[in-house]
Amino acid sequence: MTQKKILVADDEKDIVALVSFNLDREGFAVSRAYDGQKAWEMVNAEKPDLVILDLMMPGLSGMEVCARLRRQETTASLPIIMLTAKSDPVDKILGLEIGADDYLTKPFHVRELIARVRAVLRRSERPKENDLPEAFDFRGLHIDFGSYRVTVESQPIELSSREFKLLQFFTSHPGRVYSRDQLLDRVWGDEAFVEPRTVDVHISRLRTAIEPDKENLSSAL
């Protein structure tokens, strides 16, 4: 797995050191910047996978850096987390409207920041709707991704939204094996309090719905 690169930009050097140390310990490659202009230059030179930006920095503010990144085609979809002492809801709304993917106020818990970094990276790795195929056909199974219709041997199949997402994920990643935790990350995303056993239940229902040999299905589950 390729090591993810993260740029941490903040004029408070102790904050940069704290965040960088913990990201490095979690296996990320970390770069540091102490002002907005340097952050802007490093993003374009190093092409990080995610940027953590302080809102208020000397010279070029984090807000302006974020706006510039969103206007530039090569960085328009770059994941950005705002890290700032400004907790006013107006500042948070403004940051999100300019294009930040998440917003965390100081003081913060390092574990929460790490969790948010992972969540934002997961979201950025999910295929965009425009990148998905229009349909899927295999051995009598037909999926229309636009209309959310599924048929088996031309017979319509009723699936829940979660079962459909599972089926969509499996057909987009053929021949690969995923653990329960990986499926929770990729299909359930950031939903809280989802038990790993939930994956088994949904897969069982999905297989019951789409597999033609239902009499021998129970022995295979």
pLDDT at 75 over 70: yes
Band (38; pLDDT cuts 50, 70, 90): very high
Burial class of 23 by CB neighbour count within 10 A (0 to 12, 13 to 18, 19+)? buried
State whether residue 137 is helix, strand or coil.
strand
Strand residues in 29-164 grouped as ranges (E):
29-33, 50-54, 80-84, 102-105, 135-138, 141-144, 149-152, 155-157
Q: Which residue has the higher pLDDT, 190 or 88?
A: 88
pLDDT at 6 over 50: yes
pLDDT at 91: 63
Mean pLDDT of 105-134: 77
pLDDT at 7: 97
pLDDT at 176: 78
What is the rounded CA–CA span in Å between residue 203 and residue 139?
19
Can you read off the two tokens belonging to residue 182?
């990986």
Contacts of 12 (CB under 8 A, 6+ apart): 54
Band (166; pLDDT cuts 50, 70, 90): confident
Q: Residues of 126-162 as b/e, b for ≥16 C-beta within 10 angstroms?
A: eeeeeeeeeebeeeebbbebeeeebeeeeeebebeeb
50: nearest Cα among 126, 152, 124: 124
Q: Where are the alpha helices (DSSP H) in 145-213?
A: 161-172, 180-183, 197-210
Mean pLDDT of 100-127: 83
pLDDT at 216: 46
pLDDT at 9: 96
pLDDT at 220: 37
Contacts of 194 (CB under 8 A, 6+ apart): 184, 188
51: nearest Cα among 12, 26, 77: 77
pLDDT at 98 over 80: no
pLDDT at 127 over 60: no
pLDDT at 214 over 80: no
Band (89; pLDDT cuts 50, 70, 90): low
53: nearest Cα among 25, 19, 29, 24: 19
Q: Which residue has the higher pLDDT, 77 or 218?
A: 77
Confirm if 62 and 70 have CB atoms less than 8 A apart.
no
pLDDT at 131: 54
Give the Cα-Cα-Cα angle 19, 44, 190 (nearest 5 degrees): 50
Can you read off the two tokens belonging to residue 87?
């907790």
pLDDT at 74 over 80: yes
pLDDT at 47 over 70: yes
Q: Please give the C-alpha separations between residue 126 and each of 119, 137, 140, 193, in angstroms, as whole numbers.
A: 11, 22, 27, 21
pLDDT at 16: 95
pLDDT at 57 over 70: yes
Q: Which domains does the chain have, with CATH numbers?
A: 5-125 (3.40.50.2300), 130-220 (1.10.10.10)
pLDDT at 213: 58
